[in-house]
Structure 1
């Protein structure tokens, strides 16, 4: 079965049950589709709601970006600083 590798950074890494995972992904779909599947896993995954950034294969993307089997997807909160 095909999959994507998903990485979580910053507060997501601390909040979610795991810092990275392999997720079944047999056909192309959007980052938004992937995020919705993850969110459906339960309460802890609500951390993916709101202003969360995403990169596919280390390139920043929006929710409508296509994810292919074998891609690496990273989710992280916006960086703030002063």
Structure 2
């Protein structure tokens, strides 16, 4: 059955990697998200933590090839719109 959806505007505040705004009857498959993240210190969890004179260094750039992703997977999709 056809669906009619009408919007004046659609606003997204912070679009992220591997995210989407889908309106209506859709079938979205085969999504992949690849990202590299570097932290010099990481994260501090808990209450009452003290970090005294913390020096953090992150040397990233000494590699010849950085972040090579070989994503050869196949994701077939079958969908029917009625």
Specify the TM-score bucket, using the shorter chain as the normaliser.
under 0.3
TM, length-normalised to structure 2: 0.18
Name which one, 1 or 2, has greater alpha-carbon Rg: 2
Higher fraction of helix:
1
Greater share of strand? 1
